[in-house]
Every structure is written in C-alpha cells, then in structure tokens.
Structure 1
Amino acid sequence: MNLKRLTIYGFGHFHDRTFDLSPGLNFLVGPNEAGKSTLTQFITAIFFGFPTKKHPELRYEPLDGSRFGGAITFQQDDTTYTVTRTDGPKGGTVTLHDDTTNLDLPAELLTKLLAPVDGQLFTRVYAINEPRLGTVFTASKQELVDRLRHVGAVGSEYWLQQAQRLDQAADDRYKPQGRNPLLNQQLREHQELSAKLEKANGAYQTYWQLRQQQVDGERQQQVLQTTLTQQRQATTRLTQLLAQWPTYQQWVALAPAAEAVSHGFTATDATRLEQLRSAATASEQTLADDQQRFAELQRDQQLPPLFDQYLPIADKVDALTQRLPQVQGSQQEAQRLGTSQRDLEQRAGILEQQYAVNGQMPRPFSLAITQQVRQLAGELTTANQKRRRLQQQLNQRNEQFRQVQPTRQQHNNPLADKQVGWLAAGLVVLVGAMFLPNTFLKLAGALLGVAVGYYGVFLVDSSTPASRQLDELTEDIRDLQAQLREGGQAVDALTTQLDTIGDAHGMSQIPLEQWSAAQSAIAEWERLTRLLETTAEQAATQQATVRQFLQEATTILPDLTDQDLAAVASQLTQLQATRQALSHQETDVAALASRLQADQAAVERGKRELQAFLRTRNLTDVAAFYQQYQADRTQTERQQQRHTLVTQIGADNLTALKQQISRAALQQQVTTAQQNQATTQATLDQTTSHLATLQGQLTHLTASGTQATLRQKLADLETQMTQTAATWLTERLVSQWISAALAAASGDRLPQIVAQASEFYGKLTENRYTKIELTPTTLRVQRATGEWRNVGQLSRGTAEQLDLAVTLGFAVVMNRQVQMPLIIDDGFVNFDEARRQAAYRLLATIAMDVQVILLTADESVTTHTTGKVLRLTE
C-alpha cells in the first residue's frame, strides 16, 4: 500500500490542507507544534476511526470549528482508493471510493483492505514515535519476547496474554517447591487429617453417643436461653406498664387532642387589637364628620373638583408642584433637542448622499496618511507636467527631424569621395617609396604615404552639416523617449500608491482632486454623527423625566390620567393656588381643610396598623382573631397537661397501654410472666449442668477430633485436591498449546525478522552491534567484539535503535503479506548525529520496497535528494 494524498478538512490546527506523497521516502519537515503528531493521528483516525469523546485529547477536533475529518487516497494492488471519514457515531462516518473504476464501495470493505492490520497493530508497529520506541528500554525480558512473537505472528497478542494468564493461574495453584500455592497447602492438610483419623477410629462408637447427647443438649440450652431472655424482657415491661396505669388514665381523660396552638393570640395581643380598633374608629368618625362639613362649605365656596382629593395628599401634590418648573424645562429642552436632532440627521444625510458607497462612508486619513497623500499628489502633478513638457519637446524634435531628413538626391557625399582620393594618393606614395634606391628615402616616402592617407581618412571631415544635424536630432529624440518612459513609470508608481490608499480608506470612487474636500466632509460627518448620538441621549433623558413626572401625578391623582403636561401643570397650579388662597383667609373652609388633611392621615395610619396586626396572623377580620384567641387558650391548657403526662409515661409505654383492656387484666399478665420465667430458669440450670458433664467426657475421647468429622473433612479435601489438580493441568496444557501454536505460526517468519533486524541494527549502530539473538527467556545483542549484552545494559538511544531495527525488519519481511506504510514521528530525537544520518540512509534503502513517511523537525533531511520533502508550515 502506498499513500498518495492526504486531504484534511479539519483536524487539529490543520484545515483545508492537502499533502501529496510519493511511493518511496517522504520527509514532512516542520518545527515543534507544526502538526507532525497531528498528521500521524490523522492517518490512524481516517483508517481506523476517531477516538470517542471520552478521550478528547486524541480526537484532534478542529480548533477553528471547521468540518471535522478528511480523506486519504492510497494505492493497493494496482487499484487506487479514496477513503473519507467525517465526524459521526461509532468512530465517524466512512465512505470508500474506487478511483480506478470510479465506483462507490461499501464502507465495510475498508477493514478487508487493511486486514490483517487493525488499529492496535498499526499504532504498535507502523506508527513509530519516540515514546513507543522507548518501551523497549523499560520492558521486562519476557515482555520483549512476547512482543517479538506478536510481531512475528500477526494477531497473536490476545493469545499471548491468555497464555501468560494461564501460566500465572497454574503457578498460583501448584509449584513443586512451593508452600503458598493452593494444591501445596491441600497436600499438607491431607497428611495431617489422615493421622488424626487413624487415632479417632478406636473410640468412634462411644464418641458418637456422647456427641449426639451433646448436640441435643446444646440445642435445648439455646432454646431455653432465648426463651428466658424474652420472658425477662416481657416481665419487666409489664411491671412498668402496671405502675404507669393511673397516669395513663389521666391522659385519656384529656383526649381528644386538638391542633397545635398558634402564636400571636395572647392576652397582650387582644389588648393591642382593641386599642387599634378604638383609634381607627375614632379617626374614621372624625373624618366623616369633617368631610360632610367640608362638602357643604365646598358647595358654598365653589372650590375645584379635585380639591377634596387634594387635601388628604397635599404634601405629595405640593412636592410634585415644586418640581413642575424643572419638568417643564425638561420638556422644552426635549423639544429643542428633537429639532436639533432632525437638523443633524438632515446634514449628515446630505454628506452620506455625496460620499457614501453602498451605505458606507469612507474612512478619514490619519495625519501621516494626509501628509503622504499631499506629497504623492504633488509629485504626481510634477511628474505629469514634466511628461507633457517632454512630449512637446519630442514632438518638436520629430518635426525637425522630418524637415531636415535628406531626400534621395542628397544621399551622395562629395566629401566622402574626397577621402577616397586622399587615401588613394597615400597608397601611391607608399608604393612608390618602395622603389627608391636609398633606405632613408624609402622610409621617408613610406612615412609620407602614411601621413597622406591618415590626413585623408581622419582629418578630412566626410560629413556634411545636414548629416550632423540629423545625428543630433536622433540623439535628442532617443533621450526624450527614455525620459518619457521613466516619467511614465514614475506616474504609474505614484498612481498605484494613491490607489492603494484610496482602496484602504474607501476613497476609490472619488477623484483624486476631490480627496481634500471629501476628507473635510468625512470629518464633518463624523462630528455630526457623534453630536447626533449625544443629542439623542440627552433628548431621551429629558423625555424620561417628563414621563416619570406624569406617572407620579396620575398615581396620586387618578383623575389626571391621559392628560398632557400642560393640563397637569394647570391643574396642580390651580390646586396649590386654591390652598394658598384659603390659607390666607380666616374662614371655616381653611380651618376645615387643614383638619381634613390631619383626619385623613390619622385614618390611614390606623388602617395600616390594624391591617398589619391582622396580616401578621394570617387573618382578614377582627372576629376571626377573637375566635382563634379563645380556641388557643383552651387548647394550650390541655396540651400542656397532656404533654406533661406523655413525658411521664414515655412514648413506647403509651402505645402499649393503649392496647390494654383494664388494670386487672394487666396485673394477671404480670403474674403469669413471673411464673413462666421461674420455670424456664430452673430447666436451663439443669441442662447447663448436664452439658458440662458431657463435654468433659468428649474432651477425653476426642483429643484429635471426631471420626465422622475427620472422614468428612478428608473426603471434602480429596475432592478439592482433585479439582485443583485438574484445573492446574488444564491451564498448564492450554498455555503450552498456545505457545506451541504461536511458535508454529511465526516459526517461518520470526527467524527472518530477527536476521533482518540484526542487519538493520548493525547499520544503525555503525556495525558496533552486529547480531540480535532471541532465546525462550531473554533478548540480547552482540557487539562487534563478540560480547553479548542484555537490553537493560544499553543506553536509551541504543535501545530505541534496537526497537526501530526490529520494527523495520518486520515491515520488510512482512511486506508481502502486510503492505502498510511506515510513519515515523520524530522518532530519532535520542539518536546522535551519526546514527541519525545512518537511520536516514537505512530508510532510503527500505523505501524502495516500503513507503516511508518521516515527520521531523531536523532540517538536515533536506540534503537527502532521494526523498520527497514537504514543508508543514507552508
């Protein structure tokens, strides 16, 4: 099997990630917390199921709330499959797809594709990490042997555990030299019982007769003792009941009992009630008289309709009237704030219509951004002006070039012909000098010819004024074009920077020349928005003040309900003015108004006190109080008497006395109980004396135990021994059969695994250890010097290398039957650098046959060109 692709929907901190793997060696490199252990658990979970929610630390549910699960694409037997597992019951919801034929397969087929590997074998052998490698260091010798047998025979772990359990159980039953095992103890006990039985056989008949008499006597003695104890208790109880019979008769005379006495109905409470009633009645009568008098005077004086309601609560109404100016000011302020609020909303709406995009106002620039925009805008203006100036110059040069460019008749250059003539003359002089007789003359002639040619070629100017002007214009045009390109690039760069700032602040829809005005408008809009929020809060506060005032006014004067503040203010002012006018008049109305107010307060106070008195006692009227008061007095007296009598009698004795018919019947019961007790005591004394005699005789005969008891014990013991021996033999034979079966099942592969592991161990340890040997009782390794060492004598890193070698040996040998990839999660942290590199080389060799996925934080693996390198942090 080769894993081709890991697709993670959501697992741990990974989400929407894909890792493409190659068939051979794969390096997944990342620092700590990059997700190496997460990927190992992801592969295990997708193949074998998510752990239950009882183990949340192993589920790796996504941290960002994305979809939990993923998919693995793998190739097996020339067929490509994709298994997908997402969150769901029983380890997750699984789907299996055949990518080769594009068919959906039953999810149950996944187990058959992975067989015989299950989740436990996969995590133990194929998913390697440092803690699992470390178990070889702490394991006992027998555990190492069983583990290698498990590796050699797939699925044998359960049977190894059963064999160990059976061996332990057999040892607990019997050991040849043991003392504590069950069968050893039973053998010693059998020997002791046999000796005692031989001694007891002689006096068997006499012993049996005495023993039967003793059993009968003990049974009779036990019955008599129980009977005597019961009789003593009954006599004592009946005597006590007889003594308490007169008190019980008094208790009966006070029956039946009534309900419990209620609190709050004493004589003091009754006196207090009468005082409250008298005070309330007097206050009500005074108020009625004064109200009748006031009604007559009100008709005569023509007072306002609310005035009779006002007088009893004048203090509350006056308090509201004093607050009236403040509340009227709050109403005026609320109206002013409402007008201001509408004006602010209108002004802010105008700005939003001008500059808002999709209902969103642009964001204001900071001081630094403002300065940057101003600088970039200035540079852009300068750059554009420079481009226009250069373009004008270029147009002028192009026009001049077009005018100066020579026609076809002007292409012949006479001066160029003159240069050819001078050159020809120089050559003639040079050739002629070669024929002069004197060497000096030849040299002089040659120099003269060279000078003539040089003059003609280099000193005589072959160009014309028109050609020189064309060259200058061409050079100027090229220079101007280069400057225009540079200017265009500068303009593009400045425009890009300004566009970036505009996009970041929502200004992309506004022309650059309007940015300054837009920023001022944005600042004004933000100021208006803040002011609008403040105004709305202030208006709500003022309106709440007005509403609260109106609510208080209608509470104390219900006739003012549904009236606005102006009407309420008018009514309150009129009431207060009327009262003030009356207070300055020496009339009966003024005096009566003051008296009515005092009367009303007294009546309300009396009612409150009376209602409070009755309410604390759960009553509604005074008659109920006196009824309960009288009943409580009578019941209290009877309860006190009955309680005193019950204390004297006792609760249990009272129950027993209720069951008696009369005093004479109770006296007869006491007499009968005393006679029965005396008779039973005499019989018990005789029986006890006879048992003492029998015990002496039996002690003499049975110093070593009775014959029947010893025979029964011996027979029971022999039965137990037979069962123990049979169980021991069964457990020992089954354990040996399991060991033999596992040895046969793994016999052809275990030597191959050990040999392959020895080869790998030599490579991992740089041939310091060359051989691994597995014996029936121990596991040891051989050094290159020939010395043997047990696992407990190895360092942690060397022991982990031993476990790695065994695991790799299993993977290679079993590859034909069990084709699974090897996943190594930072398993080499305890290896030194040389052995770590040796491990990398070994993995590269193994990867030719078995896919290897190494997750590591070691950056040096990137130097291995034989494997595919993936970065977890990309």
Structure 2
Amino acid sequence: MKIKKAHIDGFGKWHDQDFDFTANPQIIYGPNEAGKTTLMAFLVSILFGFADGRGKNRFAQYIPKTTSSYGGSLLVEVNGHDYLIKRQRGRNGGKVSVTDSQGRQGGEQELKQLLGTMDRSLYQALFSFGQRDLTVVDELNRDEWQQHLQQLGAVGSAQWEQLISQYQKQADHLYKPRGRKWPLNQDLHQYADLTDKINRARNKFKRYQDLQTNLQANKEKLRQAQAELKKQQPLLQKLEHLQQLWPVYHEWQHSHQTRPLADYLTDQQVATAQELQVREKELRRQQQVYQQRLASIDHQSPQATKHSPHSMPELRRLKEQAVELQAEEALQHRQQTQANQWQQELTAIKIRYHHPLPAPLTPQEKAELARLLNVQPLSRATASQSTGDPSRTAIIGIVGGFILFIIGLLANATFITVIGAIAAFATVMYLYYQRQESHATPVTTDSQAIMAFGQKYGLQDFPPDQWLLMQGDLQRNAELAAQLQTAGQDQQRYDHQLAIFNQQLPPALQNLPLATVRAKLDDLLEQGQQARQDIQANTREKATIANNLARLNQDYSKINQQKMAIYQQAGVHDDNQFTQYLANRSAAQSQALASDVYGQQLTAEDRQALAAYANRDELAMTLSKTRRQLDQLNLTISQTHKEMQKDKVEIDSLVEDGTLSNLEQERANLAAKIWYEVQEWLRYQLAIQWVNKALAGASSDRYPAIIRQAEQYFALLTDHRYSQIDLTTDGIKVVRKDQEVFLVEELSQGTAEQLYIALRLGFVTVMSDQANFPVIIDDGFVNFDNIRRQRMLALLEKIAEKNQVIYFTADDRIKDLDVKILDLQAFKRE
C-alpha cells in the first residue's frame, strides 16, 4: 500500500487542506504546533478508524472546533490499483467508504480486504515509530528484545502478546515469588502458621478409629475425581490451544482452498521477458528519435533549398547585370547633372529672344543671307567702319562668354558657367541696342527679298540685322535640344533595362536600390552555397539514419519474436496481458506464501484436530462443555477435600478439645483454597509458556532473514563500524569491525537507536512481501548529527524502493541537507 494524496475536510488544526505524498521518501517538516502529529494521526485514523473518545482516547479524536466537517479521504495505491478511502463522523470509528478506479463503491468490508490482517495496534507496533520508542531502547534486556523480535516475526503476534500480558497479569494477581500482599503468598504463610499450631496440638490426638471408613471412602472418591481431572485437563488445554489457533487455521484454510494453479513461466523467463520489454522500449525510443530527425530534415529542406543549386547561375547573371546597371546608374547620374546644365543654358537662350527659335541656317543659307544683307549704301559701310566695327567687338564678347560657359560645364564649376553666360548675354544686349540706334538711319536695301528669306526660314520675328548674329545661338539651341533628346533616350533605355532587371528579380528584391539588390544577391548566393552544403550533409545524414533504422528494425523484430515466444508459453498476446499475468502471478505467489506462513504455525496434528469441527462455534461449545466438566470435578475434589479434612478434624476432636478441631478445619479449608489457587497460577504460567513457544516456532524462519537484513542496515548507518548482531543468553550483542563485542547497554544512545532502527527496518524489508504498508517515522533522529542523519536518509531511500516512507520532523537542520521537503508552514490552518 502507498498513500498518494490526502484531503482533510476537518481534523484538529487542519481543514479543507490537500497534501501530496507522491515523493518517496516523503520528508515533512514543521516546527512545534505546526500540525505534524495531527496529520500523522489523520493518516492512521482514515485507515483504522477514529478514536472512540472514551478514557484517555478523548484527546485523540482531533475533532475540529471551528468547522462541522470531521474526517477526510486518502487516495491509496494497492497492488497497482488506486482506491479512494473516505471516512467521516459516525459510530464505531466513523463511516467509511471505499471507491476503486472503476467507480465501484464499498464500505468497511472492502477496507478490511485492502488491509488484510493489519489493525491499528499491529501497524503502530511494526510500521510506525518515533523518538519515544528510541529513548527506551537501551532499557530493553535480552528477553524483551527476543520477545520484540517474536512480535515482528510472527503473523498476528500482537494479539498473542496481548494474551501473554493478560495471562501474566492474572498470574501476578495470585502469586509473586517475593510478594507479600498477593492471595497465594498470604495463604501459604497462613498455612505454615496453622501447621505449626496443629503440630503443637497433635500430641492430644487420641481417637479417630470411628471415622476411618468414611475417610477411606472419601479418599477413594478423591482418587477417582483426581484421575478424571488428570484425564480432562490435557483435553481442556488442547481445546484452548485449538481455540487460539482457530483464526490462523481459518486463514490457512481460506488461502489453501483458493490457492491457484502452478505458474507457466519460471522466474528466469519472467526476468528475460521484462528485460526484452525494456530493450524493445529502448529500440522504439531510438526509432522515434531517428524518425523525428528525418521529419526535422524534411521539414527544414524547403527553407534550405529555397534557392536550389540549379538557380545559382541565374543569381550570378543577375548579380553581373546589377554590377553593369550600377555603373550605368552612375553614368546616368552624371549625364542627368549635365542635362540639367544644358536645360538651364537652353532656357537662357530662349529667354534672350522672347520668341520661338527657328532652325539654324546652313553655310549656303548663311552665305545667301550675307549677300542680301551686304547690299547697303556706301555711306552706311563707311559709317560702320567709322564706328570702329562694333559687330566684331560684339562677336568677341559673345565668343568669350560662350568659352567661359563651356569651360564651367566641363569643369563642373557653376560660378565660371554663370560668368560666361552673363558675359555672352551682356554682349548680345549691347549689340542689340547698337542695332536699334542704327535703325534710325534710313537704309536702302532689297527689303522684299530679305523679308521673303525671313519668312522662308522662320526669321520674320527677329530684326534682319540680328539674323546672322543669332545663328550661333540657334546653332547652340539646336545642339542643346539634340543633346537633351539623346540624354532622355539614354535615360529611357536605362529605365527600360532597370524595369526588365527588376522583373527578373525575386519579389522581395524588386524596386530596391541597386546597391541593396547587389548585397541581397550576394547573400542569396552565399545562402545557396550553404543550402547546397546543407543538402549534401542532410543526404549523408539521411542515409546514415536509414541504415540505423534498418538495423534497429532487425533488432526490434528479433527481440519481439523472442518476447512473443515467452508470451505464448504464458498464454498472453501483448504487454498489457503480460502485465496482468505478472499481477496474477504475484498475487498467487503471495497467496501461496501466506498459506505456507499460516501452515507453518499449524502442525499436522493441529490441522487434523481443527478439521473435526465444522466452525468456531462448535469448537467453543465443546470447550465450554469441557470447562464445565472440569469445574464440576474441581468442585467435587474440593468438597471431598473438605469432607476428608472435616472427618479428620472430627476424628481428632473425639480425643482432643475443640481447639485442635478448629485448627484442622481451618487448615483443611486453607489447603483446599491453596490447591485451587496453585492450579489457577500454574494454568496461567503453562499458557504463557505455550504461547511463547508457539511464537518462537512461528517466527523462527524469519529470524535469520531479519537479522541479516538488520546487520546490513546497521553497517550502513554506522559507516561499517559494526558488522554483526547476535542474540545471546547474556543479551543483544554487536560486533565491531575489529571483532570487539559490545552489549547493547554499552553502546551510546545514538548507536543504540541506530541498532533499534536497523532491526525495525530489517523487519519491514523482510516482511514487505507479506505486509507492505507505509512506514511512518515521527522525529525519530533527534539524537543524530548531520552525518548520521544523511546516512539515515540514504537508508530511507533504500527502504523506499519497496515501502513508502513518510518522515515527520521538527528539526530545521533538515533544510541544510540536499533533500526535498514538504514544509507545513506553507499550508493554511485554522
């Protein structure tokens, strides 16, 4: 049995509180008044019932003062199955209910089936101990130690020990060797005094012949009654012995009748099957790991191969185009700067003339215009020459400004460009105003031919005298317009190439700056290279995993075949059926062992004698009848003794005075009383001897195993300073590793407590196959230092492999050790 969880509705200080006992060993810490004793009493009370509240038990009920709820529940595991045991306020220890994992409910009878022969007193004597038990360990003598081990070794021995104590108490009420106040002691002393008085008065005895016949008859009657009593007493002892053995016989008969058939598998086959299960489970785990790795590789493959190796040339081509477009972009940037300057110059030329500009004249057209314009009066030519030929000066100014303008554009010097443009513009304006002044002078020319020429070539909006002068600007205007057109075409061609390039890029890279695109393409190329390497590595790993899976499948198939071969012998087909088979097999072995244990306490003669009675009531009736017969015989003997003594007294009184008669009568009555008291005292002493012998016989097969296990635990607790435990006629002795022998009285308190704990836990380990219950320890290691406490905790972990261990302590030094504790201070209380 293991306690997994507890819920307290109301019990002492605790109410509406849950506790988890899944840890094993479970260490529970709490200072004084924290509720440790209350929690421990709750666990025992749910299993064995609440205290009845009578006498000293009125303080052991733990009825809460602030809530009407009283009781709670335990979730326990018994033989691999969960049961919820719930106990609430009620008669005879409280109302109890048991619910299994299937929802089936029961009551007290189902709880008894879970507990078996275990009751409160037996549980507290065997599976629960505390500091109070350890403080008296050095006061136990050899007989008490041996008696204690007998209790540990025999099934149901607590009831037998209770019977011994009862018999001893009743015997002590009759007689003690050194007592004075006990009835038999006083009667023997009084009998001696009466004998002395009678002996002093016996010389007065003269006459007794008349009553000799009656005396002889009473003697014969007494002899027959005593003979019959001697015959009936062994029968009574045998019947009482059978009555004491009846519970054991009943358990043996039940277990013997329901004993299952022999197992189909040997222990070696079971161990082999379990080992194959473990190996099979490990192979399945490895297969799952490999399959998960394959799934992980397949899941990662789409990301790793997003740019698969076959697209790498395309990425390289895109990168080369990006490099070319970057160079083209720089060129277009410079050309755009130049185009902006050309546009500024073109705008300045258009602003200068205030009219749309025609196309420049060809050299032939300019020669024709010059011919037309040269038909002028001589006085005009002479006047022009007299003015110092201002047209030549204007041309020099225009050419100089234009040169400065070109130099500024080529040198990318805005200041020089502006100076050149201003100089050219100023010169043109000067020439313009000079021409306006000359227009005031009457001119005689072929104006009709000139006007026709102007209409033909789009010059009619300008003064004829400017037509030749503005040809340089017209030529520059045409050149600038052609250059701007060429720059626009180059920009369109570049934009078209860039658009086509963007269409070829992945969507995430489209419309990004070329520098960013180039960097991204470098990253993609690097990722592609890494992806290719990852694909190659994944391919090699998948091949390795495939080989490993093939090998694991072969091993799994082989192990499964071996396992199923063993399952077939047991008549099962899968792991679940095999688990159930093991549970049934364990239960059958436990039942068989229980039958053997009970059978060892019964001799063949006892079983044959008990088989003669149909039930316990029939045996009790036979025992009662025999007792009545013995009581009648004892009464007959007692009355016959009285009559004989009366006859003797009467005979003596015939020759003596009444004093001797009274003394004889008093002594006769006293002798009869003493005889009866001696018979009672001997009966109790014989019963005690018989029970002790029965206990010794019942537990003899357990002694060696308990002592061997206790020696191992004692060596562990004392760091192997002691290696042997002996039960001798002088008492309990322990042997140190240097072979020096010590009585338990010679040991220190701490070492003696370690010996006691080793014996108790040795019993728990040996008896775990018969009685496996939680071991509850209440502050049992107060006298232990940290080193001993660590060894003790290590031993508790070892015990926890077979039994659940719950250890309560108020010693806060437990927090200094590297163990997990349940701190009651963290829980709410009333």
TM, length-normalised to structure 2: 0.42
TM, length-normalised to structure 1: 0.40
Larger radius of gyration: 2
